[in-house]
Structure 1
Amino acid sequence: MPIEVRPATRFADVRAVIGPKRPDANVCWCLSYRIPNKLNQELAREERGEYVRKLCRRKPAPGVLAYDGDDVVGWVAVAPRADTTFAGNRKIPHVDDLDVWSVWCIRVRPGHRKQGISHALLAGAVGFARDHGAPAVEGYPVDNRGAKVDLTMAYVGTRKLFEDGGFEWAADTDSVLNRFPRVLMRLDLR
């Protein structure tokens, strides 16, 4: 059955992919780049999940989810860059003044990896951004040059994943993740 990608409007499905096993665990919930640092530090444990629950009720949704039949198998965070901390990030440059959208967290559930789901998720995120009027989509993946990347650090994607999705290198960054440099990759939608 083909993978279907849909807007992340069902909180239970978002929680299944990026939420903790214990509701009181203090995990990211994919908020680190989405909200100001001060708020990110203030939100703890269950408050983080409740914040994401509210995001799932907003339009546009906070990202997209991949489904294999009825099973949710992956997540991508995608939003206008202006609504994220990338808007003021000093390590990741702005190449122009376009109101681009950013993709920054790609997660595939264990047991579903190495099946092309991250590719479907990235394509779904691009389609979602396009449907909401984005002139371009950016990602900030690691440039691992084929070397193995720790799965917990691969959440930003790899340069190859973005290249396979039609993105082109737009700029180097001053950001490093797991000893790999991050690059700015962009797909023009105009």
Structure 2
Amino acid sequence: MSTDERGKARAKGALDVRELCAKTWGDFERVLGSNGGARGCWCMHWRLSISEWMEGKGEGNRRAMKRLASRRPAPGVLVYDGDEPVAWCAMGPRSSFPRVERSPVLAGIDDEPVCAIPCIFVRRQYRGAGLLPAVLDAVCDHAATLDHRIVEGYPVEPRSGRRAGSDTAMTGVASAFLDAGFTEVARRKADRPIMRRSLG
């Protein structure tokens, strides 16, 4: 499918969301690639202490995520364009992500229960096509079916003229969140806004 065709499909709301489980595990590995996203993370960065994450870096983190994928609620969702997995998004209550909770930059701003999305990772061959806002839309639609009222993200906002690297872009980019209807609600560091979208 060409970039233009993908754009038309996304405009029609064709992106599909499926929870990570044993059945979709292979697609999760396809999206994250052999490095597990970045530096052997396998989306465990926000779930472990830095020492635990470093100790499990690579295969240990992959096994830890696979265990989470066998439980409910699911640790996140895969986003599909047709039958092709194009992105991964970690999601759940803030308490699911202890390092978000402990972060002085990303600490909670109030007592509102939110669906946190601390990691959003677009498959390499689908980057650069403006896919992220549509991915965020699809994830928010899914969060609404789980009765979440607010989705909260922690994107990076690169300085003008610079691009976010794979390590920092794992949280998403602020401009894409704005395009997907999110609003900035706090900023404790120049390049790290906290953004929310109400699901009504």
- TM-score of the aligned structures, taking structure 2 as reference length: 0.80
Structure 2 residue corresponding to 1:99, chosen from 113, 116, 121:
113
Greater helix share, structure number: 2
Task: State the 1:133 CA deviation.
Answer: 2.6
Q: Is the 8 A contact 1:98 1:135 kept in 2?
A: no
1:177 corresponds in structure 2 to: none
Q: 1:61 to 1:120 in 2, by over 3 A?
A: farther
Please give the residue correspondences for 1:21-170 in structure 2 after superposition, counting only pairs within 5 Å: 27-84=40-97, 85-144=99-158, 147-152=161-166, 153-170=168-185
How far did 1:58 drift?
1.7
Higher strand share goes to which structure? 1
| Unmatched runs of 5 consecutive residues or more in structure 2 | 1-8
Mean Cα displacement is larger for which, 161-170 or 119-128?
119-128
Whichever residue aligns with residue 18 of structure 1, its letter is L
Residues 19 and 62 of structure 1: CA distance in aligned 2, closer, same or farther (over 3 Å): farther
- TM-score, structure 1 as length reference: 0.83
Same amino acid, percent of matched pairs: 32
Once the 2 structures are TM-superposed, how far is the Cα of residue 145 of structure 1 from its aligned partner?
6.0
Report if the CA contact (8 A) 1:137-1:186 is conserved: yes
- Secondary structure at the counterpart of residue 97 of structure 1: coil
User: Is the partner of 2:103 in helix, strand or coil?
Assistant: coil
RMSD: 2.4
Q: Aligned with 2:124: secondary structure?
A: coil
In structure 2, the residue matched to 1:6 is 18
Superposition misfits of 4+ residues, deviation over 4 angstroms:
none
